[in-house]
Structure 1
């Protein structure tokens, strides 16, 4: 009888522990939380691990509705089709990258991971805590190194080897890969704080930067949620940001309400689309498909508002530049850290007394929209015999025709004559051609004017030059069109990637204004020189007679 009574008392104790709400004062290493399993084990899963900014408490807003505290892992499920993908939010509030492992939560979660799944991790907010104390003991060593610290854990009473923040992220990556799944690292959301310029405070110098470093070193997908959310905060202004956090607790700087969680979820979806992971992109529902990819958060500039550039001296030949934002960004004037295209920094390589340099490129354009918006017609009006036209498209040509996220820019794959109907919101129908069809039209019409055409493959992405090659299909299509229609082809993608390898990843990262696509002033100048070197390396060197002393000093690129 006594034994039965003891058993009942112990059972009641455990039930009370399970019923106890998880609060900030609860020992996170012993947190009793009920985490979801995949709803349909036969489907692939998107599994989320992290802290309270991903899954807050019992994931119920503390019973306060939209004004409670919510992590972005809850609203993100609404962007996916549950018939195609499980979204499994197994983040735990109060945990760090270290204590998610030492508490046993990672072992239990890893048991659910199978080949074909994707695991997104976001830690950092709690990693800055004390490494050893009697309340949390959850901190990690700052940075990404291999250093360790031996402690007698005051909370668990156990001997423990504590590693760096980066070490724990690398362990997650290795464990996920061992299961045949795909790891993705997400930088932590920014706090509701501002710097001395009034901009949302970033964490590029610590946890967001370290997360990026690990992702780059391990060659895994990276979503810079810290930067993406901070950029969004800057766009909407401080007053609007305040409304993204619980109004009842104005001192709350970390945990968003439902509106803030929804914004962060949408940004993560944009990051997923930018990474292009097939199992996730293929499972997006209509709401998810409408989210723009993270690299394309900037609105498409109205072409009618962009000045048509003209040659300074009509008596001289002209070097015409045609392309997208990587050629002419239309970025913030005077901000050298903002997005700048290589076409905006190429003029010093040419002698203005011998040639005009006219940059017709517009940000957000594809081979398709540069034609359909009438911009190419404006170029043709200026073309004359003896001119040279450089054409670089591809960054905005990908994606599915008709997908609202592509903003009416996607062209068809390949170089053939086939077309696809794209039904517009106003009821009209556009016959969309292949990428090669548009490029061939540019070549044929320019050559009919007596101009020389050079097709350039796109400049590489920030995260896609270290292994293999970026834009392989677009480069092959450009090459085919050039050979078939009498143009020159320059593999700018490989030329810049090879130059990136010579200067190293740290120097390359310093040349970008955003997470993936657009260069800053330093990067634009670097790429402009590579363009000149690549053109000089062509068999006919179409720009040789026009170079300034600075241009003549550039060594030709090896073909």
Structure 2
């Protein structure tokens, strides 16, 4: 996709290089756990996939509070399944929104009911450095881990594995992965491939059901067991 002056890529489209099964990338820019749910996209995936398929769920970059007017993406702050907030829409209506875990746990349970192997992956880091390392993770990383535990599915701390990879590569080179001035989220193709490799490293280092599907290229991605 094109953002700013330079084309940027998401990591999902590079995952197929590292696994032995076909990859269908249903990620869509600008979506949150809430908007993906409300647009029916989890239902679309549940209807498209076949029993035994693997589904990776990763959200967080677009899920934060929007301020006084609802942006259609924000979730209620908190990790409780029953946590809600009332927000105002642009036309002045009051609507109730739910927590991030609510949307993710409902999605996981829907997909599990179709016989799918679900992996909840934490969001990836922004390009923000503190003393030579990527900074501390946002709340959605913890929400992802908690949601996976509550629904008894595999969890990959993608944030930590990307942070590990970035520290190994170094800030100067990593900065080149973010080609658009002021954009600390969207990577170049080179950066997206590094982020995909970090996800595969996380799969290999955890008890993930997807581990058996990692091919020889995936088996050789750099990294260590503990991020």
TM-score, normalised to structure 1, is 0.37
Please tell me whether the aligned partners of residues 401 and 412 of structure 1 are also in contact (alpha carbons under 8 angstroms): no
Aligned match for 1:485, one of 151, 174, 187:
151
Please tell me whether the aligned partners of residues 127 and 185 of structure 2 are also in contact (alpha carbons under 8 angstroms): yes
Show the counterpart of 2:111.
Answer: 446
Unaligned runs of 5+ residues in structure 2 are none
Show the counterpart of 1:520.
Answer: 188
Please tell me whether the aligned partners of residues 534 and 557 of structure 1 are also in contact (alpha carbons under 8 angstroms): no
Show the counterpart of 1:398.
Answer: 64
Aligned match for 2:76, one of 403, 412, 419:
412
Which structure 2 residues correspond to residues 249-398 of structure 1 after superposition, within 5 A?
A: 330-331=1-2, 337-351=6-20, 355-398=21-64
SS in structure 1 opposite 2:77? Answer: coil
Aligned match for 2:200, one of 532, 535, 549:
532
- In structure 2, C-alpha distance between the alignment counterparts of 1:552 and 1:418, rounded to whole Å: 40
- In structure 2, C-alpha distance between the alignment counterparts of 1:377 and 1:431, rounded to whole Å: 21
Aligned match for 1:510, one of 176, 190, 215:
176
Show the counterpart of 2:217.
Answer: 550
Please tell me whether the aligned partners of residues 457 and 471 of structure 1 are also in contact (alpha carbons under 8 angstroms): no
Deviation at 1:426, TM superposition (A): 4.9
Please tell me whether the aligned partners of residues 128 and 134 of structure 2 are also in contact (alpha carbons under 8 angstroms): no
Q: Identify which range, 481-490 or 413-422, moves more after superposition.
A: 413-422
The alignment covers a number of residue pairs equal to 221
**Partner deviation per Cα, 1:473-510 (whole Å, 9 max, x = no partner):** 11111111111111111111111111111111111011
Unaligned runs of 5+ residues in structure 1 are 1-329
Show the counterpart of 1:249.
Answer: none
**Partner deviation per Cα, 1:147-198 (whole Å, 9 max, x = no partner):** xxxxxxxxxxxxxxxxxxxxxxxxxxxxxxxxxxxxxxxxxxxxxxxxxxxx
- In structure 2, C-alpha distance between the alignment counterparts of 1:521 and 1:400, rounded to whole Å: 29
Moved over 3 A (4+): 425-430, 464-470
Q: In terms of Rg, which structure is larger?
A: 1
- In structure 1, C-alpha distance between the alignment counterparts of 2:223 and 2:149, rounded to whole Å: 22
Aligned match for 2:163, one of 485, 489, 497:
497
